[in-house]
Amino acid sequence: MTNEHTHRPIVLVGPPGVGKSAVGEILAERLAIAFVDIDAEIVRRAGQDIKTIFRVSGEPAFRAIEEQVVAETLAVPVARVVALGGGAVISARTRGLLRDHRVISLAVDIDEGFGRVRRSSARPLLSGDDQRAAYQRMLEARAPLYASVGTLRIDTTEMTVADTVRAVMVELSSRQDWS
């Protein structure tokens, strides 16, 4: 690993419930590089959880913070794994920043993804009476955005976190443009 690619982050994108944080943490450990979870960084900087930020300041304010944290994180030319929040790709600025990075789009089908997130109270966009329908709408609206930024796509639907990490490692070792 001696070219300019080694100094760029590996960025994980995908919907809520796909495993970006869990996969990212283990992947970073396996690669012996740092891990940055954008949602956790937002919580750290704001001193509030994401649900509170949404409730108190609204989604536009949260997205502005998210966009800034992503921009600052990706501006540092260091090899690390970065897990973006599920909605980060909504921002055209963020999508533009991702063009210069190694981006892995993790995918999941609606039933599996919703099954993974339905018990979480920390998902402010998945509240209300029909959370499955909300999740489906979110997934359908964002799927083209994930696809547009992802250099590589891995479907995690029938995979454990360990399976997903192995799949990513295989892809990383086989991609000369990423080594």
Q: What pLDDT band is residue 129 in, cutting at 50, 70 and 90?
A: low
Q: Reply yes or no on whether the pLDDT at 4 is more than 50.
A: no
Q: What pLDDT band is residue 1 in, cutting at 50, 70 and 90?
A: very low
Residue ranges per domain, the chain? 9-169
pLDDT of residue 116: 78
DSSP secondary structure string, the chain? --SGGGGS-EEEE--TTS-HHHHHHHHHHHHT-EEEEHHHHHHHHHTS-HHHHHHHH-HHHHHHHHHHHHHHHHHS---EEEEPPTTGGG-HHHHHHHTTSEEEEEE--HHHHHHHHTT-S--TTS-SS-HHHHHHHHHHHHHHHHHHH-SEEEE-TT--HHHHHHHHHHHHHH-GGG-
CATH no. for 9-169:
3.40.50.300
**pTM of the predicted model, to two decimals?**
0.89
Q: Reply yes or no on whether the pLDDT at 146 is more than 90.
A: yes
